[in-house]
């Protein structure tokens, strides 16, 4: 059933596959981010209550969604790394963690910048904000753990364990606004009912979410390739690729 996957277990095959996806993700990211951002920031109507301040949604919401999405992919990769012990998934865990941390940081920063004028405070310790902060710490923990060991096999395994354990935080972040009283508002688009956001404002947001996703994909694949080369630097295929010689 999974036979078609087997050739990609070879590092050079997954290196090439990742390389083939990078230009597509990059093109999609550039396209969506430019359309979505220009549309959202310049042409979408301003909010009836918040005026133009609401436009931070076009950065905040995609960054927040993808900070969780990136974590989910990292946890799945960690799970595969632990059970099937495939080196590439350990490398993916290490590759995506800093990008996810960046997205989380952007979400926290833009949220604080919006919170000051709208709520009247930069930060409150409500469930949503606190659990998102914990997500940032989880990412930092995974990065630190991966870099703490010289033995990269051990490093990959410990980072995978932490990423898998931290996945429990994801439903907490998502449902925090429903389970508890929070200052943060409820979900506007990620719910089954009709989105509580006008369609003229929603379209650029959705485009930007796709753009952020493609950006995440492109960046993490580039980092994946780099990390794979580093881990495999003594192997003949890397030498052949980088030096152009058969046996160096």
Partner 1 sequence: MNPRRKQRLLVVVSIVVGLGFATGLLLYALQQNIDLFYTPTELVQGKGPEKVKPEVGQRLRIGGLVLPGSVARSQTSLEVSFDLIDAGGGMVTVAYEGILPDLFREGQGIVATGELVAANRIQAHEVLAKHDEEYMPPEVAQSLKGMEHFKPEYTEQQLHGSAQ
Binding site for partner 1 (CB under 8 A): 45-50, 54, 57, 79, 82-85, 117-121, 124-127, 164-165, 167-168, 172, 179-183, 185-188, 196-198, 200-201
> Taking the complex as a whole, how short is the minimal distance between the CB of residue 187 and partner 1, in angstroms?
6
Q: Which is nearer to partner 1, 16 or 116 (CB)?
A: 116
Question: Sign of dihedral through CA atoms 155, 158, 164, 167?
Answer: negative
Question: Sign of dihedral through CA atoms 108, 114, 115, 120?
Answer: positive
> Taking the complex as a whole, how short is the minimal distance between the CB of residue 155 and partner 1, in angstroms?
18
Please answer whether residues 100 and 138 qualify as being in contact, where contact means their C-beta atoms are separated by less than 8 angstroms: no
Q: Which is nearer to partner 1, 24 or 180 (CB)?
A: 180
Q: Whose CA is closest to 225, among 17, 9, 48? A: 17
The rounded distance, in Å, linking the Cα atoms of 180 and 162 is 26
Match 């350990």 to its residue by tokens.
Answer: 90
Q: Which is nearer to partner 1, 55 or 225 (CB)?
A: 55
> Taking the complex as a whole, how short is the minimal distance between the CB of residue 184 and partner 1, in angstroms?
9
Match 């492109």 to its residue by tokens.
Answer: 218
> Taking the complex as a whole, how short is the minimal distance between the CB of residue 129 and partner 1, in angstroms?
9
> Taking the complex as a whole, how short is the minimal distance between the CB of residue 191 and partner 1, in angstroms?
9
Q: Which is nearer to partner 1, 45 or 246 (CB)?
A: 45
Q: Is 47 helix (H, G, I), strand (E, B) or coil?
A: strand
Q: Which is nearer to partner 1, 182 or 240 (CB)?
A: 182
DSSP state of 9: G
């Amino acid at each position: 059933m999974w036979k078609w996957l087997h050739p990609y277990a070879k590092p050079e095959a997954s290196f090439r596959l990742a390389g083939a996806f990078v230009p597509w993700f990059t093109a999609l990211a550039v396209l969506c981010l430019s359309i979505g951002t220009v549309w959202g920031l310049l042409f979408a109507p301003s909010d009836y209550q918040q005026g133009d301040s609401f436009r931070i949604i076009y950065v905040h919401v995609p960054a927040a969604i993808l900070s969780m999405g990136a974590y989910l992919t990292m946890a799945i990769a960690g799970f595969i790394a632990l059970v099937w012990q495939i080196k590439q998934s350990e490398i993916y865990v290490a590759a995506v963690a800093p990008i996810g941390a960046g997205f989380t940081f952007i979400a926290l920063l833009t949220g604080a910048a919006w919170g000051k004028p709208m709520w009247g405070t930069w930060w409150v310790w409500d469930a949503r904000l606190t659990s998102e902060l914990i997500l940032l710490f989880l990412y930092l923990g995974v990065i630190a753990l991966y870099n703490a060991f010289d033995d990269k096999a051990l490093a990959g395994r410990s980072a995978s364990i932490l990423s898998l354990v931290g996945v429990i935080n994801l439903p907490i972040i998502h449902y925090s606004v429903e389970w508890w009283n929070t200052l943060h508002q409820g979900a506007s688009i990620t719910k089954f009912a009709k989105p509580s956001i006008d369609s003229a404002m929603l379209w650029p947001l959705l485009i930007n979410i796709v753009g952020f996703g493609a950006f995440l994909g492109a960046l993490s694949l580039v980092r994946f390739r780099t990390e794979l080369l580093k881990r495999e630097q003594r192997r003949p295929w890397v030498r052949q690729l980088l030096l152009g010689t058969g046996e160096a």
